[in-house]
């Protein structure tokens, strides 16, 4: 394998995160003590990853990762419902661009966009691509109770299509009403509530619904050059493509293509550190090697076998090179 590029890697600026916590009224001010203790331990391993040098580079060298495409992780101002989010996103993007400029052969960037102000988000995407050299953007879940198919976000989607850069739809916290109805109220402790509703399952479904709604709304037909990146092996959707055709397709007769075709033509998926042969085989069968990129999800997931898994996978060499780096180079213009 000539080269390995991973595309869902994160950095969190703790001062920005603290400001987001301060300005976001939706964030709980009090928490179940057991859950608070659990989360303190859970997030301990992701503290201090606010640099592109030091242990990040050391880990990349140990694992055999040549290039990371980096974006802001948890506590992103992109989803913040406050006017200050516009300047905070600019600050995040400027900091990241400066860090990348110091090690340009090892890193590239995705922009953080202020969804609170779609016009400002469009301007920021243009600035990040044309001036900072970024290769698309990453959003962390919905904005409030709105999904990306809502008309207010159409200018942002159009800008990605016009600039020919992808939009990475990453999971984020789900709506409280959904979390309470689906994932709480059992005999388990609050920390299980949290994991069921978040990285254990709930937010993956939520991120998959984002993509499903874009197709159902006809956005892919309207914007055939829109390119979507979807982590965690497509956030549950690839296994259901034929079901979508059979059941939703008979109602969504206004669409120009079957769901499965639209998905396979405009969505690229990545593993996000979920390294299992069964998932890789399903991805190859459902979307093909041309629409798979590689990712680790640093610093939340650290895979010593991020390169060796792909090296040893039962793939022909052409497909291995596509997944390892060629697809990323083509899609992101690296």
* CATH number of the domain that residue 63 is part of: 3.20.20.140
Is the confidence at residue 23, as pLDDT, over 80?
Answer: yes
pLDDT band of 46, cuts 50, 70, 90:
confident
pLDDT, averaged across the chain = 95
Range of the domain at 96: 5-332
Considering the entire predicted model, what is its pTM? 0.96
**Per-residue pLDDT averaged across 15-23, rounded?**
93
Model confidence over 82-105: pLDDT tens digits? 999 999 999 999 999 999 999 999
Model confidence over 172-227: pLDDT tens digits? 999 999 999 999 988 999 899 989 999 999 999 999 999 999 999 999 999 999 99
pLDDT band of 253, cuts 50, 70, 90:
very high
Is the confidence at residue 250, as pLDDT, over 80?
Answer: yes
Are the C-beta atoms of 233 and 274 separated by less than 8 Å? yes
* Overall number of domains in the chain: 1
- How much is the pLDDT for 266? 99
pLDDT band of 41, cuts 50, 70, 90:
confident
pLDDT band of 327, cuts 50, 70, 90:
very high
Is the confidence at residue 16, as pLDDT, over 80?
Answer: yes
Is the confidence at residue 18, as pLDDT, over 80?
Answer: yes
Query: Considering the chain, what percentage of its residues have pLDDT values greater than 70?
Result: 97
């Amino acid at each position: 394998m000539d080269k390995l590029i991973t595309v869902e890697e994160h950095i969190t600026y703790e001062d920005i995160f603290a400001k987001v916590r301060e300005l976001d009224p939706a964030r709980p001010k009090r928490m179940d003590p057991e859950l608070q203790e659990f989360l303190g331990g859970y997030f301990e391993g992701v503290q201090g990853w606010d640099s592109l040098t030091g242990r990040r580079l050391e880990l990349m060298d140990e694992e055999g990762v040549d290039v990371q495409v980096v974006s802001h992780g948890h506590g992103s101002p992109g989803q913040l419902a406050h006017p200050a989010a516009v300047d905070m996103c600019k600050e995040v993007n400027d900091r990241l661009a400066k860090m990348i400029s110091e090690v340009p052969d090892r890193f590239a960037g995705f922009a953080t966009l202020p969804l609170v102000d779609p016009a400002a988000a469009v301007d920021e995407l243009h600035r990040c691509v044309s001036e900072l050299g970024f290769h698309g953007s990453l959003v962390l879940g919905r904005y409030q109770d709105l999904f990306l198919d809502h008309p207010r976000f159409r200018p942002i989607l159009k800008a990605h299509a016009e600039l020919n850069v992808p939009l990475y739809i990453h999971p984020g916290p789900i709506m409280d009403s959904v979390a309470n109805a689906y994932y709480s109220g059992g005999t388990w402790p609050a920390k299980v509530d949290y994991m069921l509703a978040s990285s254990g399952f709930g937010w993956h479904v939520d991120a998959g619904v984002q993509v499903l709604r874009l197709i159902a709304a006809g956005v892919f037909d309207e914007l055939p050059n829109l390119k979507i990146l979807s982590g965690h092996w497509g956030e549950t959707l690839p296994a259901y493509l034929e079901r979508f055709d059979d059941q939703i397709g008979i109602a969504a007769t206004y669409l120009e293509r079957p769901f499965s075709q639209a998905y396979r033509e405009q969505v690229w998926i990545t593993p996000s550190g979920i390294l299992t042969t069964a998932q890789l085989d399903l991805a190859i069968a459902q979307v093909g090697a041309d629409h798979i990129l590689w990712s680790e999800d640093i610093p939340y997931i650290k895979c010593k076998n991020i390169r060796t898994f792909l090296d040893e996978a039962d793939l022909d060499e052409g497909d291995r090179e596509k997944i390892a780096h060629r697809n990323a180079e083509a899609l992101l213009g690296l």
